[in-house]
A and B are shown apart, each in its own frame.
Chain A
Amino acid sequence: TQLLEQSPQFLSIQEGENLTVYCNSSSVFSSLQWYRQEPGEGPVLLVTVVTGGEVKKLKRLTFQFGDARKDSSLHITAAQTGDTGLYLCAGYTGTASKLTFGTGTRLQVTL
């Protein structure tokens, strides 16, 4: 079973601060996805990264896929209260046809 470890598990910051969430594995992933989940709802896809070293930006969110395709990071600039939620990374490996989810990072942004 491939494991995806996310850090930190919990993060509480004030509005306007910057933060980075990490997703690490010992396995190589053919693609990696980031989801955000709000309380009482299912996860919603934010981005998919495929190429090692790839960087994608979604407004104030920057996603990076590691060169070796074993890790990824999510950086949020000037966090807002609307960024509050559970952030999940998930990856496909070449040998498995199933998406493996990380343990999640719960982010709380306060005024």
Chain B
Amino acid sequence: DAGITQSPRHKVTETGTPVTLRCHQTENHRYMYWYRQDPGHGLRLIHYSYGVKDTDKGEVSDGYSVSRSKTEDFLLTLESATSSQTSVYFCAISVTILYEQYFGPGTRLTVT
């Protein structure tokens, strides 16, 4: 199994509070991704990174920001959480942009 961990695994937070999710990899892969998974929508890309300090937006980036200061860590921040951001968040890594992606175990976030 690819060495990908996500923390926390579960979180309940209140509307309006900031939340940061962490993805950590031990594979030294260049690309890292944040997805959210919701019923009826499949997996949707939030942001991705193609190197340290190099990031780009995905299809559902509004309300989210990311940072990657080290190869192994990719942080997803919800500046002011809303109920619509209740979801399961997955981090993924890949060697190159066209190769298979390895997914972390997910973080279940509930915004009340």
Partner of B106, one of A30, A40, A45, A88: A40
Partner of A30, one of B98, B101, B104: B98
Once bound together, how far apart are the Cα atoms of A41 and B6, in whole Å? 12
Contact residues of A: prevailing secondary structure = loop
A-B residue pair count with CB separations less than 8 angstroms? 45
A43 lies within 8 A of chain B by Cβ: yes
CB distance from A44 to the nearest CB of B (A): 7
Please choose the segment from B36-44, B67-75, B79-87 that sits at the chain A interface, where 4 or more of its residues have CB less than 8 A away. Answer: B36-44
Decide: A31 and B98 in contact? CB cutoff 8 A.
yes
Which of under 10, 10 to 19, 20 to 34, or 35 or more describes the interface residues of B? Answer: 20 to 34
Once bound together, how far apart are the Cα atoms of A31 and B102, in whole Å? 16
Decide: A98 and B101 in contact? CB cutoff 8 A.
no
Once bound together, how far apart are the Cα atoms of A45 and B93, in whole Å? 12
Listed residue (B4, B40, B98, B105) with the most chain A CB atoms within 10 angstroms of its CB: B98
Residue of B nearest to A89 (CB): B42
Which of under 10, 10 to 19, 20 to 34, or 35 or more describes the interface residues of A? Answer: 20 to 34
B58-69: contact bitstring with A at CB < 8 Å (1 yes, 0 no)? 110000000000
Note all chain B residues with C-beta closer than 8 A to A42: 4, 90, 92, 103-106
Q: Can you list 18 A-B contacts with CB-CB less than 8 angstroms, sorted by A residue number?
A: A1-B59, A30-B98, A42-B106, A43-B43, A44-B103, A45-B100, A88-B42, A90-B43, A92-B98, A97-B97, A98-B58, A98-B59, A99-B45, A99-B101, A101-B42, A101-B43, A103-B42, A104-B42
Which residues from chain A sit less than 8 Å from chain B, CB to CB? 1, 4, 30-31, 33, 40-45, 48, 88, 90, 92, 97-99, 101-104
